[in-house]
Structure 1
Amino acid sequence: MRKVLLLMVTALSLFAVEPVVTGAWLKGHLNDKDVVVVDVTKKESYDSGHIPTAMQSGIELWRQGVDKHAEVRSIEALQAEMRRLGINNDTRVVVYSHHLNNKDMLRATYVIWAMAYAGHPNTALLDGGIYAYKAAGGALTTKTEANRKGNFTADKNAKMIATMAEVKASLHKVPMVDSRPAVFYFGAQKQPVLKRPGHISGAKSFFWRYNVTNENRIKPTAELSEMIEKGLGLKKNDPLIIYCTGGLEASMNYFVYHRLLGFEKAKLYDGSMKEWGNRDDTPMTRYRWE
């Protein structure tokens, strides 16, 4: 029996991909049959040069507009896109961006979140994006990959997402984290896309860029834990709701909190402030650190 369990653990360890992989790791696994690489940059950037075998999948294929905000697409749409990318239920997926601007890498963490929401958690972020792969000696290509035929079957994980109604019911009961720059959280500056300045009442502030270095590499887990668990006083076993302006910034915090630090009960409020802050019936706080 012990031998059987050992074999099972070994098999699982070989199957699962680490949450964060290096450029060198990806370079060495590009031709693995069970690895699919997904490039989430814009098509023009993909066409100008991308990692060999990578499939292009823009963020618009994962999100759709709803009133003044955006939300993750339907499970059926996510399943169809993942099949087009060649993903099966046992596929290891590596997602990366080109780091074209300050927020480009957030497209990668959002797609990773969306895949897990659709029932496929065996995903990884390429740390440092396309530049990390190039730094490891990896060559780029301009060859466009044809659509594939994966057989992934989606299974929605509703525990990963928080609705506006749930956020309202959780005020001052469940810890919340605002992933935007502190100036917006504090309300010293109002975002043009929002009707009201400030933050969801009771929420703490943790700007998503605190997770990464100036070179856009994920900081060491010990440092992240020091900031998040000790600094914010958050506990891994407690429920947690993470939000931002429109879902992308929160996806980076969710990735770090859930995948790297083990906050299993974390949820992403996808509508975030574009939904909450553009209404008159949602409690908000300004000029206060909480």
Structure 2
Amino acid sequence: MKYILILILGFFNLIASTAFISPSQLKNSLTDKKTIIIDVADYSIYKSAHIKGAINANISNFIKEDSLYSELNSNEILENEIKNLGISYDSNVIIYAHNTQIGILNSSYLAFVLIYAGFENISILDGGYLSWVFENELLVSSLKESSVKETNFTIKTNKNILSTNKYLSKNLKSATIIDARSPELYYGIKRSDKTKRTGHISYAKSSFYLHKFLADTTLRKMDELKKIYIDGYGLKKTDNIIVCSDDIFSASMEWYILYKEMGFKNTKIYYNSIQEWANDPELPMTRFKWE
């Protein structure tokens, strides 16, 4: 009996520490009262169909209104929003999207917010909602989650995962800068939205976040990710890595894969990203060059 209990506890600890989990892993954890499933779709989509028991998260609630770079809300608001999702320190949070590009980025953005708030027992459902429906068609619902338990969650900000333009400028040549935009934007053929200049932050390497996924939006296997990041870019666990993109949303998935899936815990995210950098003529950018 004791041996079985140890196996069960080990399984749920594995769920809590895994960056991406399969539908079968999620199904096996549904009976665990500590499991909280979060749907990041617009409420209208969530209302039409979602995984049974899932709670809908309004991503805009974590962002300051009319902020230039989609800045994070105050710690007080972030803490309240996290409490409203029923998250406690011992929760196992599983986030999923409805397989749109915006949805995928919303899932990694929410994961980033929770990690910033000091909570890391997070997984993203690999393949999103469609993978769940394919394997567990009967375990979906159109009924709103009726109640969320009260929690005593207290935010403990992890500012070590953030990079400012000043920090990036200071570490421009010593850090490994990862640009998560499409190759066309990185190379300078196309211009990112809300920017005056084209190209990429000087010394940055191109690593489009969507290339880490297969056509069915499931993550590539670890051996392929190692070929990309370790063999291709020569990354080491101790490296100072800074991820940038058009904005925080399109940077969040690349950051999440590096930080959570690959275990590069010294990976920062340049929150204001290209929208800030490319509009400051004093900051160096490079065009028509692969670095």
Output the TM-score relative to the length of structure 1.
Answer: 0.91
Contact 1:85 1:147 in 2 (8 A): no
Contact 2:193 2:275 in 1 (8 A): no
Q: How far does residue 146 in structure 1 lie from its aligned partner after superposition?
A: 4.0
SS of residue paired to 2:71: strand
Using the alignment, how far apart are the partners of 1:147 and 1:270 within structure 2? 33
Residue 230 of structure 1 aligns with which residue? 231
Q: How far does residue 67 in structure 1 lie from its aligned partner after superposition?
A: 4.9
Pair 1:10–1:97, CA change in 2 (3 A): closer
Residue 244 of structure 1 aligns with which residue? 245
Residues 253-280 of structure 1 deviation map (CA, whole Å, 9 limit, x = unaligned):
1111111211110001111111211222
Using the alignment, how far apart are the partners of 1:56 and 1:94 within structure 2? 12
Give the letter aligned to residue 43 of structure 1: Y
Give the letter aligned to residue 44 of structure 2: E
Contact 2:37 2:55 in 1 (8 A): yes
Residue 207 of structure 2 aligns with which residue? 206
Residues 141-173 of structure 1 deviation map (CA, whole Å, 9 limit, x = unaligned):
111124522221111111111112111111112
Q: How far does residue 53 in structure 1 lie from its aligned partner after superposition?
A: 1.1
Aligned length: 283
SS of residue paired to 2:124: strand
Q: How far does residue 10 in structure 1 lie from its aligned partner after superposition?
A: 9.0
Contact 1:179 1:242 in 2 (8 A): yes
Pair 1:193–1:87, CA change in 2 (3 A): same
Q: Does 1:116 pair with 2:137? A: no
Once superposed, what is the RMSD of the aligned Cα atoms?
Answer: 2.0
1:57-136 correspondence runs (5 A): 57-64=57-64, 67-99=67-99, 101-136=100-135
Residue 257 of structure 1 aligns with which residue? 258
**Equivalent in 7, 13, 28 of residue 15 of structure 1:** 13
More deviation, 142-151/206-215: 142-151
Pair 1:203–1:8, CA change in 2 (3 A): farther
Identity of aligned residues (%): 29
Give the letter aligned to residue 94 of structure 1: I
More deviation, 40-49/23-32: 23-32
Pair 1:13–1:279, CA change in 2 (3 A): same
SS of residue paired to 2:27: helix
Residue 177 of structure 2 aligns with which residue? 176
Residues 216-241 of structure 1 deviation map (CA, whole Å, 9 limit, x = unaligned):
00110110010111112222211100
In structure 2, runs of 5+ residues without a counterpart are none
Residues 6-52 of structure 1 deviation map (CA, whole Å, 9 limit, x = unaligned):
x9999676435122111122123223210101111111101111111
Using the alignment, how far apart are the partners of 2:287 and 2:173 within structure 1? 16
Contact 1:54 1:145 in 2 (8 A): yes
Residue 156 of structure 1 aligns with which residue? 157
Give the letter aligned to residue 247 of structure 1: I
Contact 1:82 1:150 in 2 (8 A): no
Residue 41 of structure 2 aligns with which residue? 41
Using the alignment, how far apart are the partners of 2:80 and 2:54 within structure 1? 17
Using the alignment, how far apart are the partners of 1:8 and 1:271 within structure 2? 44
1:142-153 correspondence runs (5 A): 142-146=142-146, 148=148, 149-153=150-154
Q: How far does residue 74 in structure 1 lie from its aligned partner after superposition?
A: 2.7
Residue 216 of structure 1 aligns with which residue? 217
Using the alignment, how far apart are the partners of 2:72 and 2:231 within structure 1? 32
Residue 27 of structure 2 aligns with which residue? 27
Q: Does 1:278 pair with 2:276? A: no
Contact 2:23 2:132 in 1 (8 A): yes
More deviation, 258-267/139-148: 139-148
Output the TM-score relative to the length of structure 2.
Answer: 0.91
Contact 1:30 1:52 in 2 (8 A): no
Pair 1:260–1:142, CA change in 2 (3 A): same
Using the alignment, how far apart are the partners of 1:135 and 1:218 within structure 2? 17
Using the alignment, how far apart are the partners of 2:22 and 2:151 within structure 1? 25
Give the letter aligned to residue 224 of structure 1: L
Residue 4 of structure 1 aligns with which residue? none
Residue 268 of structure 1 aligns with which residue? 269
